[in-house]
């Protein structure tokens, strides 16, 4: 079994990968949804996955790990533990990701950006902008699942434990809408 298959099994066994007809927060529809909190609710499984993310950055001596609320808080904390680095998170204020709670990034600090599931990459691009604004040095990006099928280029080293190529559809082009399958809204509080 490859490492990726091993990680995928952890997600499947915890029920984190669901089949149906889902409205993602990106506005797109999909027949598969990753309910990340089904696995994140188990701290030891979360640590096992996040250790896999951390391994890509250990030799780069990171100072700080940054994620975005909500799932990114947990990932950042767990990766930060594995790297013996500081762990901080950004939150939305007036629709913009900002650092609150006394968090900051000093100029030149070595930053690893993390997230749970990447669909469009929008939040990660915002986190990149945030680190640049503070003058931090971005070492790379680590995520649990890249469900864009590896199609996004962030301009920094990018590592995902699992790459899924799950088709997403605009509502007008969605085959499941055409088949009148009831739509379930998911991920209202986080990213899909
Ligand atoms: Zn649909």
pLDDT of 92: 96
pLDDT of 24: 85
pLDDT of 128: 98
31 alpha carbon to ligand 1 midpoint, in Å?
Answer: 8
15 alpha carbon to ligand 1 midpoint, in Å?
Answer: 22
| Domains with residue ranges and CATH for the chain | 3-185 (3.40.50.2020)
Cα–Cα separations (whole angstroms), residue 102 to 30, 105, 174: 38, 10, 44
76 alpha carbon to ligand 1 midpoint, in Å?
Answer: 32
Whole-model pTM above 0.75?
yes
pLDDT of 5: 92
What whole-number distance in Å separates Cα of residue 180 and Cα of residue 138?
45
Low-confidence ranges of the chain (pLDDT < 50): 188-192
What whole-number distance in Å separates Cα of residue 77 and Cα of residue 118?
18
pLDDT of 164: 87
19 alpha carbon to ligand 1 midpoint, in Å?
Answer: 13
């Amino acid at each position: 079994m490859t490492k990726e298959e091993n990680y995928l099994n952890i997600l499947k066994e915890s029920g984190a990968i669901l089949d149906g007809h889902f409205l993602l927060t990106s506005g797109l529809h999909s027949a598969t949804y990753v309910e990340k909190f089904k696995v994140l609710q188990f701290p030891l499984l979360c640590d096992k996955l996040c250790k896999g993310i951390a391994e890509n950055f250990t030799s780069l001596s990171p100072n700080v790990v940054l994620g975005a609320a909500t799932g990114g808080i947990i990932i950042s904390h767990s990766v930060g533990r594995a790297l013996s680095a500081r762990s901080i998170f950004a939150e939305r204020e007036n629709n913009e990701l900002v650092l609150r709670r006394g968090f900051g990034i000093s100029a030149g600090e070595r930053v690893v950006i993390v997230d749970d599931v990447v669909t469009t990459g929008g939040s990660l691009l915002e986190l990149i902008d945030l680190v640049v604004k503070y003058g931090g040095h971005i070492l790379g990006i680590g995520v649990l699942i890249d469900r864009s099928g590896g199609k996004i280029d962030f301009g920094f080293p990018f590592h995902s434990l699992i790459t899924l190529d799950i088709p997403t559809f605009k509502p007008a082009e969605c085959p499941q809408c055409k088949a009148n399958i009831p739509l379930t809204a998911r991920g209202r509080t986080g990213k899909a």
